[in-house]
Chain A
Amino acid sequence: MSWMGIDPSTLAWAGGALALALVLLHVLRVRRRTVWVAHAPLWFALEREGRASALMRRLRRLWSLLLLLAIGAAILAALGDPRPVDQSLLGFSPEQRPPVRHTLLLVDTSASMDAEEAGVTRFERSVASARELIAAHANNPEQRWMIASMGRRITPRTLWTRDHEVAEEALAALLAEGPGDHALDPAHAQRTVSSVLAGREGAEAVLFTDGAFEPSATPYAFSGRVVTSRTGNLSMEAFNVRPALDGSSSYSILAAVRNHLDRPVKATLMLYAKDDARSAKDFVSPEQIVTSREIEVPAKGVKRTVMSDVLFTGDRLAARVVMDPSIDAMDGLPRDDVAVAVVPPRRPLRVQLVGPDDLFVSASLLTLEGIDLETRSAEEYAGPEGFDVTVIHRSAVDLSAPGNYLLIDPPPSEELRHKRIHKRPRITRVNRDHPVTRGLEFVDASIERATVIAPRSGDQVLIRAEGGTPLVFTRTLEQGARRLLVLAFSPRDSLVPLRYAFPLMMVQSLAWFSPQAEGLVPTRRTGAVLSVATTLPPGPVLMRAPGEVETTAVRRIGDRVHFTGSQVGIYELWSEGSEPTERELIALNLMDGAESRLDDRAALKPHETPEPWRAPERPWPGSPWRLLLIIACGLLALEWWTWHRRITA
C-alpha cells in the first residue's frame, strides 16, 4: 500500500485529533437534558417498562460513536489517497506513477536581456518561454518548480513548489521588475545550481537567456533556452569628468563609445547635467543637454574622445550615445547607451608669492578663480610645503625642496645659472601647443632686458627670443619632484603686464602646476559588491538608489561602506542624522563590453523538453479514495438518519 496524498505521519496526527474531536462531540451529543416534571411516578412507571431495552440503547450509542469514527477514518484515508501495490486485485487498472521532476527555472536578468526586437525584449520572450514550459507540465502532480533570477548571482523567487500558479506568479513578478543593469556571472551560478539540485530526483536546471556571455571552459550545470535577436549595439565604454586644467570653471570630459557592429557608425555623444538627477531617466531630457559632439565609431572598435572647456553647473553628469538615425542599423540595447559620472569637487589652489610686492604679479595671480594666495617676503619664506605653487619674484631663496616653482626674473642660483644679459630681446617664437602658452599672442612686448639662463637637458622653451634666448621655459628636476617654470625677464621691465596675454599666461601656468589633474572620481560597476571609502560622519549610513524613493541601510565597517547597486545612476549616501548637504555621491555604470555584446556565444546545451505527463483516463469512481469518500458519505447519511430517527431532542 502506498499513500499518494497526505503522508502517513501527518494522517496519524490528523486521525488522532479527529478521533478526539469526534468522541468529544459524541459525548456532548448524548448528554441528557435535565427536565423537571410535576409527577415523576407516571414517568418512572414507563421507565420500568423500557428497562429491558437499556442494554440495546447503550449498544446503539456505542454503534453511533463507532460509525462516527469510521466516517472520520474513511475521510482521512481518502485524503491519504492509498493505492494498493497491485491495484488489479481491487479491480482497478494499474496506474502509471507520474515521473518525479525537480526543475529549476533560471531567468537571465542581465542587462543584455533588455535588447529589443519588434517591440519585444529578450527578457519578455524568456519569461514567455518559461511559462510555456510550466504550462506543458501542469498536469504532472510530481513536477516541482523553483523560479530564480540570474544576474551576477542567483536569487530564488520561490521554494520548490508543485503549484504551478505559484510559479506563474513568481514569473509575473519577475516580468514586472524587468532585467537589471548588471552583467551575468555564470561561474557563480554554476556553484549555486549544483547546490540547489543536489540529491533531488529528476533534477534539472533550465536557463532562459540570450546567451550573451562568454562560454565557460567547464560544462554548465544547466541547459539553456536561448532567445536572441539579430541586432547591433552601441555602448558607452568609459565616461568621466574632471575640472579643466587651465584653472577655469570648465570641465574636461572623457568618453569612450564601443561599436559592436561590423561597420563604422556615426553617432552623437550628448552630455546632460542636472543637480538632483539620480537615474538615467532623470538626466535624459532636452532641457538638460550641456553639449554634444558628433563622433564616428570604427567597426568593432572603440572611439575615445575628450571634450574640453565644457561648462555646466552641478555635481552630476550623464553621457548618452545616440546612433545616427540615418544609419540602417539598430542600437539594440538602450540601457548601455547612458553612463553617469560624479563631478569631482574643486578645491582652492594654494599659492604663495615670495618677493617684493608687485601689483602686476599679484593682480595677475588673482585673476584665477578659486585661488588661495599668500604673500610673504624672502625672509619669511619657509619652503614650498603646504602650497600647490610657489611664485618667487626676483628673490634668492632655497629651491632645493620638492615643489612647484614659478620663478620670475630669478637671481642666479645653483639651479639657474646666469650666462649673460640679453638687452631688448624680441620674441621670435611661442610654443602654442604647451598648456602654459596655449592661445597666447605676445605683441609689442617691449622687454627691456632678459637674463640668459644656461639651458639644461630636458628644458622646454615656451617663448624664445632671437638668438635662441629662452624667455619662458620649464625645467623638471629630480624626476618631477621639482618643477620649475621660469620667466627670464622682469615684467616691470617690459610692456608684457599691459597685455591681456600676461594674466592668461599666469593663470595657465598655475593650471599647469594644478593638482586638479588628479581629481577624477572613479566610476564603478553595477551588480558588483562595492567597498567604497567614505568620509561621512560616524553612524549608520543610508542610501537612496536611482529611481527609488525609499532609503535602504548600507553596511558600514569603519570608514568604508559596502553595497551592491543593480541600476545605472547616482547613488546618494548619508549618515543618519547628518545634514542633507553632507552627502556622498557614487556613480554606478554598466559599461561592460561583454554584456553589451549581444550575440549568442555561450554555447549552452539546448534544453530538451520531456514529453508532458498525462494522467490516465479512468471512469469515475475509478480511484480508491473516491470510493472511500462515497462510503464515508454513505455512512454519514446512515448515521444521521438513524440518530434522528431515535433521538431528536
Chain B
Amino acid sequence: MSALKEASRSLADPEDALFDGDFMERLARLEIVAKRVFGGDRRGERRSKRLGAGIEFADHRSYVPGDDFRHIDWNIYGRLGKLLLRLFEEEEDVTVTVLVDTSRSMALGEPPRLRTGLRLAAAMSYIALAHLDRAQVATFGEGIGPRLRPARGKSQIFRILSFLRTVEATGETRFSDAVRAFVHQAPRAGPVILLSDLYAQDGYEEGLERLLHHGFEPLVVHLMDPRDATPELLGDVELIDCETGERRELTISPATLQRFERAYGSWIEGVRSFCKNRRVAHFEADCRQPFDQIMMELLRTGEFTR
C-alpha cells in the first residue's frame, strides 16, 4: 500500500492532490458493478459462465471415466445409485473498458471536461485493478484512438496514469464509428465505462445500441458543464463549432436563448430516457464541481460501484 501511496503522490495533480493515498484506499474497496456475468481468462473474484474449481455449487452431471473422484457426489450415489459429479462455478476476472472521449469539445469548459474525464478514467481503472479485474483504457474521437491493452494488477495503474497524461483533445466525435471499431477489436465483452460529453456528430444512440448488441454493458458518465445549458451569450455573434469548424452568424436575443435552453433541456432529457429505457447506467457529472464531490456522487448512485 505504501508503494501505491507513493505512486498516487507522484501522479497526483499538485494543485488539488486528487489521487492521495486515502482516496486510493477508498477506491480499492470499491468494485465495478457488472450486472451481467462475463467470461474471463484467469481466475478472479467474479462469477463466470465456466464451471470449475470454485466454491459456489453450480450443477451435477454424469460421471465419465477420467473425472476426478473427489467431485463425485456420494450422497446422490447413496440415494439414487448413480455416479454424479458435483460441478462448481469458476470465479474469473472481467475486462473493464474505460472509453474516454477525446474530441475537441472535451477541451472546452473551465475546467475542461477532458480533465475530469481523465481523472474519472484513472479512478475507475484503479477500482477495476483493485478487484483483480482486467482494465483497459481506450480513447475515441473520429474512431478508436490510442488505447492500452487490458492489464491486471494494481501495479498497472502506473501505466494507465502515464497513458492518460499523454491524451489530448483533438478531432470530431464519431461515436458510432468508434464503437464499431472497438467491438471488433475487443477480445471479449465486458463493462464499458463511457466518459463523454455525448456531443457526437453522428449521435450517441447508435453507438450505445451497438455496444449493447455486442454484449457489452455500457456505463455512461455524461460529462456536463452547466454553462452549456445557460450560455452567457447575447447579441450578434459568429458561432464556430469547435469540432467541425463550421461557422454560422446568429443574433442571440433573450428569446433565442430561451429557445436554446429548451432545446438543450430536451436533448438532455433524451439522453436520460434513452439510457433508462435500455437499462444503461447513466450519471451526469458537473465538471465545475470538485473531483472528490463528483466521485462521491458517482459512488452514491450505486450503479457503477458497490
Interface membership of A44, Cβ < 8 A? yes
Cβ contact within 8 Å between B236 and A43 = no
List which B67-98 residues lie within 8 A (CB) of chain A: none
Q: Which of B228, B238, B263 contacts A38 (CB 8 A)?
A: B228
- In the bound complex, residues from chain B placing their C-beta under 8 Å from that of A646 are 253
Chain A, Cβ-Cβ closest to B201 = A41
Q: Is A39 an interface residue (CB 8 A)?
A: yes
Residue B251 is within 8 A (CB to CB) of chain A in the complex? yes
Residue of A nearest to B262 (CB): A46
Asked whether, in the complex, the Cβ of A38 is within 8 Å of the Cβ of B239, the reply is no
Which of B238, B243, B244 is the one whose CB lies under 8 Å from A35? B238
Q: Is residue B199 within 8 Å, beta carbon to beta carbon, of the partner chain?
A: yes
Tell me, yes or no, whether A30 is within 8 Å of chain B by CB. Answer: yes
| A17-53 interface (Cβ within 8 A of B) | 30-47, 49-50
B205 to chain A, nearest CB (A): 14
User: Does the CB pair B240–A40 fall under 8 Å?
Assistant: yes
Q: Which residues of A contact B201 (CB under 8 A)?
A: 41
A41–B201 Cα distance when bound, in Å, is 8
B217 interfacial contact with A, CB 8 Å: no
Query: Known: A39-B105, A649-B233. Is A47-B241 also a contact (CB below 8 A)?
Result: no
Query: Quick one: closest A residue to B241, CB to CB?
Result: A40
Task: Tell me how many residues of B have a C-beta within 8 Å of chain A.
Answer: 34
Q: Which of A32, A43, A45, A647 has the most CB of B within 10 A?
A: A43
Separation of A46 and B109 alpha carbons in the complex (Å): 22
Contact of A42 among B109, B244, B263 (CB under 8 A): B263
> Contact at B242–A38, with CB atoms within 8 Å?
yes
* Chain A residues whose C-beta falls within 8 Å of the C-beta of B242 in the assembled complex: 36-38, 40
With a cutoff of 8 Å between Cβ atoms, the chain B residues found around residue A38 in the complex are 105, 108-109, 197, 199, 225, 228, 242-243
A43 vs B259: C-alpha distance in the bound complex, in angstroms?
10
B236 with A32: CB separation less than 8 A:
yes
B235 at the interface (CB under 8 A from A): yes
In the complex formed, the residue of A with least CB distance to B225 is: A38
Instruction: Number of A interface residues at 8 Å Cβ cutoff, please give it.
Output: 25
Q: Mark A45-86, 1 if CB is under 8 A from B, else 0.
A: 111011000000100000000000000000000000000000
Interface string of B55-75 (1 = CB under 8 A from A): 000000000000000000000
Q: Say yes or no: is A648 at the interface (Cβ < 8 Å to chain B).
A: yes
Among A33, A49, A57, the residue within 8 A (CB) of B237 is A33
CB distance from A29 to the nearest CB of B (A): 9
List A471-519 residues whose CB lies under 8 Å from chain B: none
The 9 closest A-B pairs by CB, nearest first: A649-B235, A40-B241, A39-B199, A38-B105, A647-B235, A32-B238, A32-B236, A649-B234, A38-B108
Known: A35-B238, A40-B246, A42-B267. 17 other contacts (CB 8 A): A32-B237, A33-B236, A33-B237, A33-B238, A34-B240, A38-B105, A38-B228, A39-B241, A40-B241, A40-B242, A44-B239, A44-B248, A46-B256, A46-B259, A648-B234, A649-B233, A649-B234
Q: Could you list 6 A-B pairs, sorted by A, with CB under 8 Å?
A: A32-B237, A38-B228, A38-B242, A40-B241, A43-B250, A50-B251
